[in-house]
């Protein structure tokens, strides 16, 4: 199984990365060989989409902009499962991940039959990003799984995801389900 993890957080090993690792641990449970490629979008040189629409003519590099997205394109095309792991900033996925999503316009022909796993950590709400994926995935024939985890306590204080064992277990269980093939439809 080929897996691409798109890390949207500017902080490595934070809550959304930990949630992604729990999913990957679940994927590894039955010994399924995994080829996992991690992309830390904050560390990459990815320009914003310029709306030039040159991708509509199917360029050899998929997009007129030659930057680090070329690495993501190739891994995405080959992937069975694509994981989007992001905290919510101002009610939406991070700008780093949004730039990647905008540039995916160049390869929408390769979305069909993929499984997307969206992992969101948030303080107040996650509906806007969840709604985005719920709207887009059926159109492109993508199987979608979403896990959201509120990383604040009852007093609205930030907490580490380690204090959210139910969400970590949900991610692990989803990974195990995907590994056995029962979570792909």
> What's the rounded Cα separation, in Å, for the pair 49 and 5?
21
- Helix ranges, 104-164 (H): 127-140
pLDDT of residue 138: 95
Q: 93-139: per-residue pLDDT in tens?
A: 999 999 999 999 999 999 999 999 999 999 988 899 999 999 999 99
Parse the chain into domains and list their residue ranges.
2-180
Q: 16-28: per-residue pLDDT in tens?
A: 999 999 999 999 9
For 106, the token pair is 């160049």
Q: 141-175: per-residue pLDDT in tens?
A: 999 999 999 999 999 999 999 999 999 999 999 99
Of 92, 51, 55, 91, nearest in space to 73 by CA? 55
What's 2-180's CATH class?
A: alpha beta
For 22, the token pair is 């729990």
pTM tops 0.75, yes or no: yes
Please check whether residue 145 is in contact with residue 174, taking contact to mean a CB–CB distance below 8 angstroms: yes
pLDDT exceeds cutoff 60 at 48: yes
Mean pLDDT rounded to a whole number for the chain: 93
Please check whether residue 152 is in contact with residue 126, taking contact to mean a CB–CB distance below 8 angstroms: no
Please check whether residue 17 is in contact with residue 108, taking contact to mean a CB–CB distance below 8 angstroms: no
Q: Residue for token digits 């039959």?
A: 113
> What's the rounded Cα separation, in Å, for the pair 52 and 63?
9
> What's the rounded Cα separation, in Å, for the pair 81 and 17?
16
For residue 116, the surrounding DSSP H or E stretch is strand 115-122
């Amino acid at each position: 199984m080929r897996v691409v993890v798109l890390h949207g957080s500017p902080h490595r090993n934070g809550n959304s990365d930990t949630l992604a690792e729990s999913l990957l641990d679940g994927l590894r449970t039955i010994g399924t060989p995994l080829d996992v490629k991690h992309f830390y979008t904050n560390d990459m040189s990815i320009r914003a989409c310029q709306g030039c629409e040159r991708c509509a003519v199917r360029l050899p590099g998929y997009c007129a902009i030659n930057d680090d997205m070329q690495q993501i394109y190739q891994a995405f095309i080959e992937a069975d499962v694509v994981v989007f792991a992001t905290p919510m900033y101002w009610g939406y996925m991070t700008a780093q991940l949004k730039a990647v999503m905008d540039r995916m316009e160049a390869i929408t022909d390769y979305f069909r039959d993929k499984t997307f796993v969206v992992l969101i950590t948030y303080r107040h709400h996650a509906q806007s990003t969840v709604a985005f994926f719920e709207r887009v995935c059926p159109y492109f024939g993508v199987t979608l799984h979403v896990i959201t985890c509120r990383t604040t306590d009852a007093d609205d204080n930030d907490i580490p995801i380690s204090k959210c064992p139910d969400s970590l277990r949900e991610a692990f269980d989803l990974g195990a389900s995907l590994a056995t093939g029962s979570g792909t439809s």
